[in-house]
Amino acid sequence: MEIIDIFRKVGPVIWPLLLFSVLALSVILERLWFWFRILNQEKETVNRILEAARNNWEIARDIARQATDQPIGRFLYAPLSQPISNPELFRLALESTAETELAQMRRGEKVLELVIAVSPLLGLFGTVWGLIGSLESIKIGDLGTEATAGVTTGIGEALYSTALGMGIAIVSLIFYRFFQALLVNQVKIFRKAGNDLEILYLQSPPDLSKSQSNLAQPEVIVRDSTEGKFLPPRKRTQNKFSEPPEISDSDRSDSEN
């Protein structure tokens, strides 16, 4: 019955406040699970990839590809997945992937910002609404009598909505700042891991290109339809526009005469 009494005292603003509290709670729980999985495996993943990159870039690429379920794994795998060995492309892949991953880490921030900003205002609105109802019930003739005792009770009940709205905003603000601190720490980790990987790349650039220059070209077989036999490919005739024709000695003597 106590919860029902609180709902009655808060008034009609209890429903939007409940909606905001559910939104904030869902975002907080989802972000806590998200950060727990990241912080639990991130350091080990970075060390494994960097240690493998010092010896074999292909092994480092395989380890990074297996860790693509983590933001740091996708961040380090992006430059290693490029087939062309280019320092500019390597850095561009790191920077673009870092922006994408950090943007994903900010998911839910707008919801918490909305709850922090609107919940206290809803609480104040409920308080003002309750005060209006309490003051309207006062009659001039009842001033100074026991009839005004119910007015003070109504004012006290109207303050419940303000307290509830501020409580929701305070809890949301605490977790919002906590997630912001984790995000700042992730920026430092991404920058350090990216710099270490780029230094290793500049010291010994990997050759991860899938070159097809070493593949043997298939030999073209020409079939003689008249004899039903397979003949080797014909030699390419000389292009008369590529090289000047050779002049024999007899032709040279005739031209001199």
Q: How many domains does the chain have?
A: 2
Residue 102's Cβ-side half-sphere holds a number of Cα atoms within 13 Å equal to: 18
Instruction: Judge whether 7 lies within some domain.
Output: yes
Q: Are residues 151 and 242 in the same domain?
A: no
Give the span between the Cα atoms of 75 and 88, in whole angstroms.
Answer: 16
59, 52 in Cβ contact below 8 A? Answer: yes
Instruction: Judge whether 257 lies within some domain.
Output: no
Q: Are residues 136 and 231 in the same domain?
A: no
Q: Are residues 64 and 142 in the same domain?
A: yes
pLDDT digits (tens, 9 = 90+) for 119-137: 999 989 888 887 777 666 6
Instruction: Judge whether 208 lies within some domain.
Output: no
Q: Are residues 159 and 245 in the same domain?
A: no
Q: Are residues 49 and 131 in the same domain?
A: yes
Q: Are residues 234 and 176 in the same domain?
A: no
Instruction: Judge whether 209 lies within some domain.
Output: no
Q: Which of 130-144, 150-164, 193-207, 232-246 has the lowest mean pLDDT?
A: 232-246
Residue 152's Cβ-side half-sphere holds a number of Cα atoms within 13 Å equal to: 7
Q: Which of 69-83, 85-99, 227-241 has the lowest mean pLDDT?
A: 227-241
CA–chain centroid gap for 18, Å, is 30
- In this prediction, residue 245 carries a pLDDT of 45
16, 114 in Cβ contact below 8 A? Answer: no
Whose tokens are 């097809």? That residue is: 212
Q: Are residues 65 and 119 in the same domain?
A: yes
CA distances 73 to 35, 52, 78, 80, 168, Å, are 15, 14, 9, 11, 36
Instruction: Judge whether 216 lies within some domain.
Output: no
Q: Are residues 155 and 236 in the same domain?
A: no
Q: Which of 46, 28, 23, 35 is nearest to 191 (CA)?
A: 46
Instruction: Judge whether 213 lies within some domain.
Output: no
Comparison of pLDDT for 126 and 180, the residue scoring more: 180
pLDDT digits (tens, 9 = 90+) for 20-65: 999 999 999 999 999 998 888 899 999 999 999 999 999 999 999 9
Q: Are residues 151 and 231 in the same domain?
A: no
Q: Are residues 148 and 231 in the same domain?
A: no
Residues 6+ apart with CB under 8 A from 190: 72, 75, 98, 101, 102
83, 212 in Cβ contact below 8 A? Answer: no
Q: Which of 179-188, 192-201, 238-247 has the lowest mean pLDDT?
A: 238-247
- In this prediction, residue 40 carries a pLDDT of 87
Give the span between the Cα atoms of 48 and 141, in whole angstroms.
Answer: 82
State the residue range of the domain holding 227: 222-249
